[in-house]
Structure 1
Amino acid sequence: MSQLYLSQHLRDQLGLLASLGYPNETCGVLLGKQTEGQVSVHRIEETPYPNLEQADAHFNLDPLDLHIASLKAHRHGLEIIGIWRALPDKHYTPAPDEYKSDWTDYSYLLLSVTPRGVAGLRSWRLTSSQLTEEDLML
């Protein structure tokens, strides 16, 4: 099982972005580094939520937003290591077909958000064959 390392500072930043977006879904990319079995988040970037009318269907980020995030990552010596998504008023386990198959080996960090703030935080990793939960190292 892989491990996702997320500092308290970045967790607080995610919580703020998710709370400011509530009651809407918010999302973005995780920038950092990964080695075999370990993923370390160094920066959080928010991106526009492109498919509001299909929020519970297939989740897609705009390719231009991903390209911009990739440029920011490279400028800081990092790479895109995952996607984050804040979901209002629900705990959520993603379906394997919900994310694009070309986003394998990314972490998918999901936040459950209520009017009081972040109620839960979980992460998954999509491989070519399955979606598995990651250990969150906070």
Structure 2
Amino acid sequence: MLKIQNYHLQSIQVHAESTYPEECCGLLLGKLSGDVKTLIEVLPIKNAWDNQVAEGFSEIDALGQQPSSKGSRFSIAPAVMLKAQKDARDRNLDIIGIYHSHPDHPAIPSEFDRLIAWQQYSYIIVSVQQGKACDLKSWVLNEEHQFQPEEMITIRA
């Protein structure tokens, strides 16, 4: 279960709309208590997907028939991820998940999303249709490395 505040949802949606027609991405920082993740901060990140990143994922990205771009892929630069982990740790927080957008596609994980996902994280996907955020869902991986919907509880500040 992911506990989230309404302003976090709004922040993710605004970020997704601002990068349309490209995918946005960011980190979810918070607290972990058993199976419950409580979101404390949304950290927008620049989508680092480029030709060099695409080449690094070429083996698993061969699943798609068309060339990948920021319109259909996202990447968080390793140095950015390491800095975020350190900063979060310094504040007694954890990275509890990742969010990204699906421009003109549903808020359902792609096969590529599944292949690059990590078991312990929540994955929020926001669907942006013609520039407007319209659906947002959270997903987690099960023991068979398949995405399952994750319950999101909106809490008041």
TM-score (norm 1): 0.84
| Structure-2 change in CA distance of 1:132 and 1:12 (3 Å) | same
Deviation string 1:30-87 (CA, Å, 9 cap, x unpaired) is: 0001122211111011112122544546x54221111111122123210100000012
Identity among equivalent pairs (%)? 26
CA RMSD of aligned residues (A): 2.1
Pairs aligned (count): 134
* Long gaps (5+) in structure 1: none
Residue 90 of structure 1: SS of its match in structure 2?
coil
Q: 1:31·1:82 contact (CA, 8 Å) conserved in 2?
A: yes
Query: Which residue of structure 2 lines up, in the alignment, with residue 20 of structure 1?
Result: 18
Q: 1:32·1:80 contact (CA, 8 Å) conserved in 2?
A: yes
Query: Which residue of structure 2 lines up, in the alignment, with residue 44 of structure 1?
Result: 42
In 2, Cα distance between equivalents of 1:120 and 1:49: 20
Shift of 1:10: 0.9
Q: 1:96·1:131 contact (CA, 8 Å) conserved in 2?
A: no
Query: Which residue of structure 2 lines up, in the alignment, with residue 93 of structure 1?
Result: 108
Shift of 1:96: 5.7
Q: Which amino acid aligns with 2:47?
A: Y
1:1-138 matches, cutoff 5 A = 3-51=1-49, 53-55=68-70, 56=72, 60-95=75-110, 98=113, 99-100=115-116, 103-115=118-130, 117-129=132-144, 130-138=146-154
Question: Which ranges of 4 or more aligned residues in structure 1 deviate by more than 3 Å?
Answer: 52-57
